[in-house]
Amino acid sequence: MTILTRAALLLACACSLLAACASAPASLADYPPMPAGAAPGASTPAIETARAMGRGVNFGNIFDAPTEGAWGLRFDATLVAKAAEAGFTNARLPVRWSNHASADGEARIDPEFFKRVDEAVDALLDKGFIVVLNMHHYRQLDGDALDGGEAPVADGLHALRFLNMWKQIAQHYSTRGPKLVFELYNEPHGAQTTRWNDLAARGLQVVRRSNPTRIVIIGPTQWNSANALASLVLPNDANLIVTVHHYEPFHFTHQGAEWASGAAAWLGTPCCDAAQLAQMRGPLDTALAWSLRHRYPIYLGEFGAYGKAEMGARVTYTRRMRDEAERRGFSWAYWELASGFGVYDPAAREWREPLKNALLGP
């Protein structure tokens, strides 16, 4: 046995005795940020993926609910078949990992939950979708109040948990094909407003350890507002797509929404007059100007109007948003498939045809 082999054996024994070598990194220092501030612009695969994403739909209110089913909808492979038949080509899958991970810094993700998400990811990939798998609603990361059933986590552990969850997610899906795309975090805001650039640069570094070239989506703060693109500092990586969300005119799209304060008073708001059209176009123009300057493609990952708005106005709004996005070369995903904004009615098992036509029709 050479001296080197003996040294390696001794180190392995020490590790197994101490268990420290095998345990998750204990501090943020173990997750340095990628260099940032000189992002080179998108690679050809990133540009081609963004183009191929085309028209999509969010499989929302399923795994982003506190637990699956808590918001009235469970994953069901027939939803995947329906969305594929209809002609959607990308599917965004929002997932609230934080509710299914241990409350310590290690944030061990429940293997049963992984299996359930695998079913959805693989069903979507099998149908040929480009799948955007994200992290959604880690409320404490933004400093928000907890939803029912959420375990409070000690202050100061959130960034580490975020990174340890991404380490697991990225490793878990590292063997899936290039049609699986990761999105680091839905709508950073609140406490993330000043921290997001740093956390995203650390998060991307974690992902790159197991997925060196996978396409990753990153969006700006203020709930992924195009107006916050100016303060987004991307890591120096070419395999990126940038996302924005856009719900203006908000009093129209969120009328009657139980989670938007004051929304009951907006019921009956119509769409889309000249002032509202300007509100719809403005952020898209901002995103386009940013995209041309920084040379990363844009994915409009959420837009939509809640079911309490009048159907005719929803159709007008939806068709206009689709056209405005496509005119600027953005791929998009409607919020969402089969819940409160739903283009599909899961109870009647049928499409809301006028809405579906607004999204996919001629």
Residues in touch with ligand BGC (CB under 6 A): 64, 136, 186-187, 302, 335
- 92: helix, coil or strand? strand
Structure tokens at 216: 């990753």
Q: How far is CA 108 from the centre of its chain?
A: 20
Shorter beta-carbon distance to ligand BGC: residue 42 or 62: 62
Shorter beta-carbon distance to ligand BGC: residue 95 or 241: 95
**Closest distance between ligand BGC and the C-beta of residue 75, in Å?**
16
CA–CA separation, 166 vs 200, rounded Å?
11
End-to-end CA separation in angstroms for the chain: 73
Shorter beta-carbon distance to ligand BGC: residue 257 or 284: 257
Shorter beta-carbon distance to ligand BGC: residue 105 or 340: 340
Cis peptide before 336 (omega within 30 of 0): yes
CA–CA separation, 107 vs 190, rounded Å?
22
Shorter beta-carbon distance to ligand BGC: residue 136 or 214: 136
Structure tokens at 326: 């496509």
Shorter beta-carbon distance to ligand BGC: residue 211 or 224: 224
**Residue 51: CA count within 13 A, CB half-sphere:** 7
**Closest distance between ligand BGC and the C-beta of residue 132, in Å?**
13
189 Cβ contact list (under 8 Å, min separation 6)? 142, 221, 222, 223
Structure tokens at 246: 């856009």
Shorter beta-carbon distance to ligand BGC: residue 266 or 335: 335
Look at residues 114, 66, 94 and name the one whose alpha carbon lies nearest to residue 341.
94
**Closest distance between ligand BGC and the C-beta of residue 136, in Å?**
6
**Closest distance between ligand BGC and the C-beta of residue 269, in Å?**
15
CA–CA separation, 267 vs 264, rounded Å?
6
Residue 298 contacts residue 291 (beta carbons within 8 Å):
yes
